[in-house]
Structures are given as C-alpha cells and as structure tokens.
Amino acid sequence: MIQVIPLGGVGEIGKNMWCVRSPEGIIVLDCGFAFPTEEMYGVDLVLPDYKYLVENADLVRGVFISHGHEDHIGGLPYFLKRVPVPVYATPLTIGLIQGKLQEHNVKVPLHCMNARDRVTVGDMDIEFIQVCHSIADAVAIAVHTPTGTVLYTGDFKFDPTPIDNRPTDYFKLTELGEKGLLLLMSDSTNVTKKGFTPSEAAVAPALDAAFAQAPGRLIITTFASNIHRVQQILNAAARHGRKVALMGRSMLKVTQIAHDLGYLKYDDDLILDVDKVEQMPPEQVVMLATGSQGEPMAALSRLATMEYKGVSVTAGDTVLISAIPIPGNERSVGRIINSLVDKGANVLYESVQQGTHVSGHGSEEELKAMIAMTRPKFFIPMHGESRHLAKHAALARSMGVPEDNIAVCQNGDVVELDGETIKIVDRVPGGPVLVDGNVLWDVGQTLLKDRQRLARDGVATTVVTVDGNLDVLQGPDIVTRGFIDSADSQLILDEGKRRVVEVIDAAKARGTKDPEKLKGQIVETLSRYFGERTRRRPVQLVVIHQIKAEVETPG
C-alpha cells in the first residue's frame, strides 16, 4: 500500500510539491513556490504547507526535482532548512539549485542524475525519464514501489523538433505502460487547448522577423529559465549582426550557469556589457531582459522607468515580449505594455504578432497520447486550476480510465492505493504559507487581513487625554490616512469627535473607568458611524492618555 499526497500544485498554477509514502519512507517530488496575488500586500512568495513533512522528518528520504522552474524548485531553501535531506536532479537543475541554496546558506547533499538513471531509496526505486519542456533537462519521474509504479510527468510536451535535439523518451513511457503502470499523475496546464502545442522551433521565424524589422534597438524579454528560447535569441542576434546585452539578475545568473554547463552555446564576443549599450549604434544592439510578467523590479520595468543603469526605453525602440502572462499577471503585463507604448516604443506581443511564444505544456492531444502510451490503472490530474483538473479527468475517462480509478484532489488530500482501489482517506495541512521578508506565516493570520483593510479602507487614529474621572482634558483628535479626502471630510471628522465625547461621558456616568473597555466602545461607535456615512470601515487605532490627579501631601 502506498499514499500520494499533494501539498501544492492542484487547484492552482504554481508551488508544486507532492509526496509518495511507502511502508519504509517518504520521497518528495518537486518543491516550488507561487507568486503572490495582488491582494497579498507585502508578501514576497507563497509556499506549500509542508508541516506534514516536518512532523514526519525522520521518514523523508529525499527530494526529487523534475526541472528547474521556480514553481518546482523555489521552495527548496525554506523546506530544506526544516528537513535537511538529499536532493536529486538533472545537471542544469542542480546548477540552478546550488546557487539558490548558497544564497540561503543551506547545505544538503546534491545528487546529479541524468535521464534513464535510477536510484534506490528505501523500498522505492526512482527513475528519471527525458521529457520536453520550456527549460532544458526536464524529466518525468517514475517511482517504482512494492505496490506498483507511479509516474509523475512534471511539466511536459511532445516536441518533434526540440532545440537541443533531445526528444521525449517515448520508448520509456511506452515501456512503463507495457509493464503495467499503477498510477499516472499528469500535467493539466493546457488541457483546454485543442490539438498539439507547437514546437519551440516554431518561434524562430517570429524572432527573425523582429530582428529584421526593428529599425533601432531591439529589446526582448522572456523567462530567463527558458534556455531554448534564449539560445534562439542568441542565434538570431548572431545572424543579424547584433550584440546582446543581458539584463536582470536572473538572466545573468541562469545564462552563465547554462553556458558553463554546455546548455547554452555562443561566442563570448556576442555578449555586450550593459555599460556599453549607449555607445553602440542602435541597429547593432539587442537587450535581453527579465520582466516578461510585468514584475516591477525586473529589468524591463526598470528600463521603462529609466532606473536601469542609465539605459531606458525610448522612441524608436522595438520591444518583443516573448512570453504570455501567467494567470494572475495579466494586469501587470498590460501596465508595462502601456508604459512602453507611452514612451514611443513599438511593442510586439502574442496577440499583436503571432508566433512570438509557444507553451512548454502539452495540449489536449499530447495529454491523450501520454495516457495512451502509459495505460495507467489509476489517474490523478495535477498542475492546474480546478477547471483544468476536471477537464483532464474527463479526458482520462474518454481514454478508457474507469470513473472509480480517477482521483481529483485538493492540496492536503491523502490518496491511498492498494493496487486494486484508489481513495482519499485523510487530509493533512495543505493551505498556502506566505513569505514576508524572512518570516513565514499562515495565510489565515490577522496580519494579511489588516493589510487588506488598510489598502481598501485606510486607517483612522483617535487620540484623547482624560483625567482619572474621565473628564476630557485634550482632544479628541482624529487623524486619517487613506480614508477620506473630500470637501466634507472635516464635517465627518468633527461629528466623529463629538460622538467620542458622548461615549466618554456615557462611560463616566456608568462609573466605567477601564481604558481598554472605553477603547472598544469608541472603536465600535466610530466604525458604525463611518460605515453609515462613507460605506467604508477604516482600521481603528484609539489612544487614551489618562492623567491621574496629583495628591497634595501636608507640608
């Protein structure tokens, strides 16, 4: 009997993390993060809740990584601080993980594995299988257990013409099906898209067109981790006689790691130092920058706001966004496009010029082919929002997987397989954990709610000084921030002050002299009043200074 437990990555895009538990231990598949939504004020990252693994740390044998995207490796430094176990990954992925762990001063054994390598951990035998994705060295992970084999696809597509000439290992996937696959856990991201996802090589014509048509400088933004896309951009630059300036911390870091490991190939003289961009003829320059998701601190945003080392976007520049927004980032990307257009740049993106981007995830026909090749007895859709999971489950049914053999999960569900049945038998913590600076805290905490209220309704601070008999000596004064700013705001605040005095007088008449109770009554009164007048309820801060009368002593 085995259990599989999603701690992140189902019902959402991002923070992928799964556990496989056998009688002799637990292995972890991926450990990523997600970016915060706009209402998560001040939050830097969103992690899976791995409390279950911390509580069972003595059983955790290792972490196996499918590829080097942040939604699959970004949570590692935080997790490994709590559960320091070995990590197994392919060479490029190991290179990306090393830098990340060094930044956080985390030291654990890192084991480099290639496709078709196998390693035994307890009673589980783990095998890496080559797949195509939008980053090099991506693998599916087969976990051979005493109960049967579990296949975790990671992110994949079936690319017939991969840039690195390393196609998906169809033989191994078919072999798993012929030997009898117990469970398939498959990527659902593009299940709603018909047909096949185009090859990465299909982007080349659009890149060439952009290079040929740009009259001046060309600025291209894409995911730094998309090594195949970066390679195509470097190749196009060399063909068109342009030097490439790499901009953005992650672009510099990932490009250097990939180059050192042989995954990126280019002549050193192709790369241009950023400080020399302004000295070059515009038609001989291409800037390759981070910021395809509209991130405010990424290179493209800083170029648009003239905050990048003296280099900025100007009229006559051509900007190519070789990516599409991750769900939730559409508004951020729209803002950066508008900002670039306002500065006179010609902005090219997928809805304006087709072919500037292709997905790294398989579409409907590829997902059907995965099921057909592996012929799983049981099926779990993963890596997708609820609508994707439901669609993928229906697709599996259409491919002959019985209804009772399909489990659509939520984060934290404990799915048990005994070889004959699949069922959800329990739940463990599966909610998001927020990273705020260097602090981790649960999403349900009051702090986030307070930030949301502050952003929505502002804050009102009431200060009053009273003596021991609750006679008002000074104030009350009401100061607001982000609440009201209109012609009649003073009238509203004056009425609020009058009501504070009424509350104090009423408390004095009842003989109530407890300042804490009085604060609560003032908060309640002002919240009700402000709500009636403005339909907003600002966060209330009440300060009561109570001065006790001095007692004269006989001289």
DSSP character string of 364-388:
HHHHHHHHHHH--SEEEEESB-HHH
Sheet holding 60-64, edge to edge: 110-112, 87-89, 60-64, 25-29, 17-22, 2-8, 413-417, 422-427
- Report the pLDDT averaged over residues 262-272: 94
Q: Which residue(s) pair with 21 in the sheet?
A: 3, 26
* Mean pLDDT of the region 91-97: 96
Residue 221 belongs to a domain: yes
d(CA 350, CA 210): 13
More confident site: 330 or 189: 189
- Are 85 and 108 in a shared domain? yes
Q: Which of 329, 348, 367 is the last residue of a domain?
A: 348
Nearest to 149 by CA among 191, 118, 189: 118
Last-in-domain residue among 323, 348, 373? 348
Q: What is the mean pLDDT of residues 345-351?
A: 83
Q: What is the pLDDT of residue 416?
A: 98
Q: What is the pLDDT of residue 552?
A: 46
Digit-coded pLDDT (tens) for 117-137: 999 999 999 999 999 999 999
Catalytic annotation, pick one of 187, 413, 436, 457: 187
| Phi, psi angles (nearest 5°) of residue 324 | -120, 155
Lowest mean pLDDT among 120-134, 157-171, 208-222, 327-341: 327-341
Single residue among 324, 348, 372 that ends a domain in this structure:
348
234 and 165: one domain? no
| Cross-strand partners of 219 | 287, 319
Candidates 357, 361, 388, 392; catalytic one: 361
Of 151-160, 217-226, 322-331, the range with the lowest mean pLDDT is 322-331
68 pLDDT higher than 50? yes
User: For the ranges 134-138, 228-232, 245-249, 433-437, which has the lowest average pLDDT?
Assistant: 433-437
Catalytic residue check, 187: yes
Q: Does 354 map to a domain? A: no
Domain count, the chain: 3
- Whether 180 and 54 map to the same domain: the answer is yes
Residue 449: inside a domain: no
Top mean pLDDT of 7-16, 53-62, 349-358 is at: 53-62
How many angstroms separate the CA atoms of 316 and 216, rounded?
6
pLDDT confidence bin for 553, thresholds 50/70/90: very low
CATH of the domain at 79: 3.60.15.10
Domain span holding position 158: 2-195+359-442
Query: Is the pLDDT at 375 greater than 80, yes or no?
Result: yes
Same domain, 339 and 368: no
Which CATH number is 507's domain given? 3.10.20.580
Looking at the structure, tell me whether residues 367 and 249 fall in a common domain: no
Q: What is the DSSP letter of 244?
A: E
What mean pLDDT do residues 421-435 have? Answer: 90
310 has pLDDT over 90: no
pLDDT score recorded for residue 487: 58
Whether residue 20 is found in the same domain as residue 84 = yes
Q: Is 357 a catalytic residue?
A: no
**Do residue 188 and residue 207 come from a single domain?**
no
Cα–Cα distance for residue pair 392/190, rounded to 1 Å: 9
Write the CA distances from 222 to 171, 250, 342, 530, integer angstroms: 32, 11, 21, 47
Domain-located, residue 34: yes
Alpha carbon distance 129, 139 (integer Å) = 5
pLDDT (mean) for 409-424: 96
Local structure of 354: helix, strand or coil: coil
The verdict on 208 and 190 lying in the same domain is no
pLDDT at 446: 62
Q: How far apart are CA 412 and CA 4, in angstroms?
A: 10
| pLDDT above 60: residue 339 | yes
Residue 551 has pLDDT above 50, yes or no: no
Domain assignment of residue 553, yes or no: no
Q: Are 53 and 88 members of one domain? A: yes
pLDDT at site 311: 85
Name the one residue in this structure whose structure tokens are 């740009």. Answer: 214
Tell me the three state secondary structure of residue 113.
coil
pLDDT average, residue stretch 106-114? 97
pLDDT score for 454 = 73
* C-alpha span between 89 and 31 (Å, rounded): 12
The answer to the question of residue 451 being in a domain is: no
Instruction: Identify whether residues 369 and 262 lie together within a single domain.
Output: no
Q: Is the pLDDT of residue 290 over 50?
A: yes
555 assigned to some structural domain: no
pTM of the shown model = 0.83
Domain assignment of residue 103, yes or no: yes
Q: Lowest mean pLDDT: which of 202-211, 315-324, 350-359, 493-502?
A: 350-359
What pLDDT score does 254 carry?
Answer: 94
- Over residues 1-27, the mean pLDDT reads 95
Backbone angles phi and psi of 72, in degrees to 5: -125, -20
Phi, psi of 537 (to 5 degrees): -125, 90
Weakest mean pLDDT among 158-167, 396-405, 496-505: 496-505
Verify that 71 and 13 share a domain, yes or no: yes
Q: What is the mean pLDDT of residues 67-86?
A: 95
Residue 331 maps to which CATH number?
3.40.50.10710
The answer to whether 371 and 401 are in contact (CB under 8 A) is yes
Shared domain for 419 and 474, answered yes or no, is no
User: How confident is the model at residue 470, as a pLDDT?
Assistant: 80
